[in-house]
Each structure stands twice: as C-alpha cells, then as structure tokens.
C-alpha cells in the first residue's frame, strides 16, 4: 500500500519566503551607512519584515513535515506572540521601562534629574553625545554626586544661602567634581554660602517652580537664573505638550522598538564613526555636536514665553527684597565654530544658521524688561581663541575649565560686584 505523497506547496512557500529575504535586503540597502539602521545598512522595518519571512518559511517547513510538527509550530508561535504581547502591554502601561533597560533613550531618570534628598552616587558615565550618536571608544567620566535635603546637588544641608544658582544641567554639572562647579567656585571665592537650585532637564519655568517649591528666603539674597540657548526654547514647548499629554509616546515604550534600536546600535560596522559629520577638530581633538537640526524660527515666539517667566521671578525676588539677574550659557557650536576645522562631509557647514540669534534675542528682551543679562559667549570664545578647552569633546556641557571661565565672568560682572559691595 502506497502512502500519499506529501504536499510540496508548503515547501514552495518556504522557498519563496527565503528567496524574498536577500532580494528585499538588496532592494532596501542604504547607499551610505546610517547609525539608525541595523548593521548601518537596513532600516529596521525591513529587518522586521525579513524576520517575519523567516517565520513564514519555518511554518511552511513544519506544515510540510507533519501535522504534529505544524501543531507544535502553531502552538509555539501562539505562546510566543502571547508572551510578546504581554511584555508589550507591560511596557505601554509603564510597568516595565524598556528604554532604561536597553539604554536606548535618555529617560530623564538618572542622577540629577529628580529632586531626591540625600542621594549619593559614585560611578562612571559616558558623554551625552556618545550616548545619542552611539560613538565608540570614548572615555568614561567618573562622577561623584551628592544631593542635599531638597534633592539639589549641594554637599551640605542648608536652609538657605546668600546666593542661589537656578537652572538646569549646566548648573548641576554632573561630569565635574563639586568644587569645580559654579557653586563650588563661587563659594570658595566669595567666602559666602552659595546653593544650587537646579535639576537636569528643566525648562526655565521648571527652574522657577523649583525655586518656589523650595520656599527659600529671598530677602537680601542674590538669585542668578541661568538659561541655555541649546534647549530652553524646546523645553518650553515640551512643557506645554506634556501638560496636554502626560504620557510618553507608545512607540518609545515598545519592547520591539527598543530591541531593534538596541540591535541597531550594537550592529554598527567596525570603524564607522556615526558622529563624524557632526564633528570638528580643535586643539588636536575631535569634538562632537548635537546641533544638527538648527533652532527653527518657529521657536522664536518661545523667547517671549520664557521672558514672561523671567519677569515673574524677577518681580517675586525683588518684592521679597532680593536681587535677580540672568546669565546665558551658549551652545558648544557657537563657542567652538570660529576656531574649529570641520570635515568636508559636515552637516554643520553654516553654524550661524544652525544656532541662530537666540542669545541676542534674549539680550534685547532682558534690556527691555530691565533685567540684568550676561551672555557668557564672549569669555568662553576668548578662552577658546587662546587654545583652551571649555567643553567636553563628546558631551554638550562645559568642562571644569569652561565653568572656571564662567565663574570668573560672573564675579567680574557689575550687577554681581555691586551686590557684593556693602551695604546690601
């Protein structure tokens, strides 16, 4: 008795699926290496489709072999999809944090982002540009972080100080030791208590809320509010968007998306520098920049939004008998561009078009509002012109010397010098 011949159509489906994979990858291969692509060559959606074709091919083989094999494949697939679906739901619900687990995004939950009292941390970290651009062979920076009873980066608990430094990550300065921060340097020179009132990632309005929430005495105090042209306008927009939608986008919480993002980072070809076209050479070192999209003119109206915040804080501080001034940190590109050499393939061919007139806009607006305003660009550029380094090579923030230059500029600034001169 002859057995019925096996139906070869499932094998034909498997063969077609496997044959489609190289054709698909050949058709979708990027002409140039892209740091967001798997192996630098393929967009993640096509890699995901290729994996789906592998699954179809495996299913075809299982169906061709036997009913038992087909049942086992179907059961395993069902269980796998159920587990994946459950893990996706846990991520979407916020019960599992895949961006933090896979290191695919800066989630804003690290040291200095949240006001956690008496937090102590010692360890190593990488520059934020190294993280974002997936740079390789970059140094790790040792950090020693301690917060006070308010959760701010201060080495001792104080109910108040004579000088408050209000702002974001440039004030926190997490990559340098505390004595090298603005607060550490100013206190050592002034011999008066200076306190950080700052957290990483804050908008100017967020920094205002931090100052108000701490309920610090303001009478006869100097409040220096720091702005950073690099992200304060965008942070102000995000503040408004987050009030409208408090949840993170579903895509950023997806297990599948984060797995693909992590694999894309890991699979970049050896020797490829994903930040080369966003870099420049200064003093024999390669510096990397984040300012590749420019500051859109659409953000210009946010200057007035921020000025409303500054005027409000000024009025509150002065009504309490204190002094209020504003200082502006420039971007790394603004400071280094006139003195750096850019590669031919650069995305930073026109730096002034990228960073725009934001510091000047704030100078004019503060002058109209009667708020003392110090743009720290000039002293930082003067140091750069002397060949001195003021920023980390693979991070957007000032290094220890850059903070020293800023501290000296603040101490020489007439609104601060006059406040320091008795009587106050």
Q: 150-159 pLDDT, tens per residue?
A: 999 999 999 9
Residues 349 and 216 in one domain: yes
Please give the Cα distance from 142 to 138 (Å, whole number).
13
In percent, how much of the chain has pLDDT > 90?
61
pLDDT, tens only, 57-69: 999 999 998 889 9
The pLDDT of residue 392 is above 90: yes
Residues 241 and 331 in one domain: yes
Is residue 241 a part of any domain in this protein? yes
> Which of the listed residues 52, 69, 101 is the one where a domain comes to its end?
101
Residues 81 and 147 in one domain: no
DSSP element (H, E) containing 227: strand 222-228
HSE-up of residue 32 (Cα within 13 Å, Cβ side): 4
The pLDDT of residue 9 is above 70: yes
The pLDDT of residue 248 is above 60: no
Is residue 21 a part of any domain in this protein? yes
CB atoms within 10 A of CB 78: 10
The pLDDT of residue 424 is above 50: no
Tokens linked to 288: 């990397």
Min mean pLDDT across 25-34, 90-99, 178-187, 212-221 is at 90-99
Residues 339 and 240 in one domain: yes
Is residue 260 a part of any domain in this protein? no
Indicate the pTM of the whole model: 0.84
Is residue 264 a part of any domain in this protein? no
Is residue 259 a part of any domain in this protein? no
Identify the bridge partners of residue 325 per DSSP, sorted by sequence position: 224
The pLDDT of residue 241 is above 70: no
- What is each CA distance from 277 to 36, 338, 347, 390, in whole angstroms? 14, 17, 6, 21
Residues 90 and 135 in one domain: no
Is residue 397 a part of any domain in this protein? yes
CATH number at residue 177: 3.40.50.1110
Residues 94 and 194 in one domain: no
Residues 194 and 82 in one domain: no
Is residue 262 a part of any domain in this protein? no
* Count: domains in the chain: 2
pLDDT of residue 99: 84
In degrees rounded to 5, what are phi and psi of residue 323?
A: -120, 135
**Better-predicted residue by pLDDT, 297 or 373:** 373
Determine the average pLDDT of the residues in 242-251: 57
Closest CA to 32 of 298, 230, 272, 376: 272
Min mean pLDDT across 155-164, 248-257, 262-271 is at 248-257
pLDDT, tens only, 352-383: 888 888 899 999 999 999 999 999 999 999 99
Q: What is the mean pLDDT of the chain?
A: 89
Residues 203 and 310 in one domain: yes
The answer to whether the peptide bond before residue 423 is cis (omega within 30 degrees of 0) is: yes
Residues 203 and 330 in one domain: yes
Strands 141-146 and 194-198 turn out to be unpaired
> Which of the listed residues 74, 101, 128 is the one where a domain comes to its end?
101
Residues 76 and 143 in one domain: no
| Domain span at 35 | 9-101
Residues 124 and 86 in one domain: no
pLDDT of residue 246: 46
DSSP code for 138:
P
Residues 52 and 153 in one domain: no
Is residue 393 a part of any domain in this protein? yes
């Amino acid at each position: 008795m002859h057995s019925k011949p096996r139906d070869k159509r499932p094998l034909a489906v498997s063969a077609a699926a496997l044959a489609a994979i190289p054709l698909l990858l050949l058709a979708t291969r990027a002409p140039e290496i892209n740091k967001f692509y798997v192996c630098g060559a393929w967009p993640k959606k096509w890699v995901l489709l290729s994996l789906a074709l592998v699954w179809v091919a495996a299913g075809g083989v299982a169906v061709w072999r036997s009913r038992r094999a087909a049942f086992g494949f179907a059961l395993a697939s069902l269980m796998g999809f159920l587990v994946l679906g459950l893990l996706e739901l846990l991520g979407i619900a916020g019960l599992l944090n895949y961006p933090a687990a896979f290191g695919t995004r800066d989630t804003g939950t690290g040291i200095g982002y949240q006001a956690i009292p008496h937090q102590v941390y010692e360890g190593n970290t990488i520059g934020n540009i190294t993280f974002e651009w997936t740079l390789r062979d970059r140094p790790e920076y040792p950090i020693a972080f301690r917060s006070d009873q308010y959760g701010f980066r201060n080495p001792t608990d104080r109910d108040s100080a004579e000088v408050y430094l209000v702002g974001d990550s440039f004030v926190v300065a997490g990559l340098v030791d505390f004595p090298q921060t603005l607060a550490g340097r100013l206190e050592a020179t002034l011999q008066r208590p200076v306190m950080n009132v700052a957290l990483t990632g804050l908008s100017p309005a967020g920094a205002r809320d931090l100052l108000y929430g701490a309920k610090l005495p303001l009478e006869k105090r100097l409040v220096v509010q720091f702005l950073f042209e690099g992200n304060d306008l965008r942070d102000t927009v995000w503040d408004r968007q987050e009030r409208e939608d408090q949840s993170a986008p579903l895509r950023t919480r997806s297990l599948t998306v984060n797995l693909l993002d992590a694999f894309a980072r890991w699979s970049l070809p050896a020797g490829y520098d994903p930040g080369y076209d966003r870099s420049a050479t200064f003093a024999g070192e390669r510096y990397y920049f984040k300012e590749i999209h420019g500051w859109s003119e659409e953000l210009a109206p946010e200057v007035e939004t921020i000025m409303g915040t500054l005027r409000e804080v000024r009025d509150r501080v002065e009504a309490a008998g204190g002094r209020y001034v504003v200082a502006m940190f420039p971007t790394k590109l603004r400071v280094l561009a006139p003195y750096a050499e850019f590669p031919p393939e650069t995305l930073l061919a026109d730096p002034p078009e990228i960073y725009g007139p934001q510091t000047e806009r704030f100078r004019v607006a503060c002058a109209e509002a009667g708020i003392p305003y110090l743009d720290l660009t000039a002293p930082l550029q003067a140091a750069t012109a002397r060949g001195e380094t003021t920023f980390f090579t693979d991070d957007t923030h000032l290094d220890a010397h850059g903070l020293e230059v800023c501290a000296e500029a603040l101490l020489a600034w007439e609104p601060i010098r006059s406040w320091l001169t008795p009587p106050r």
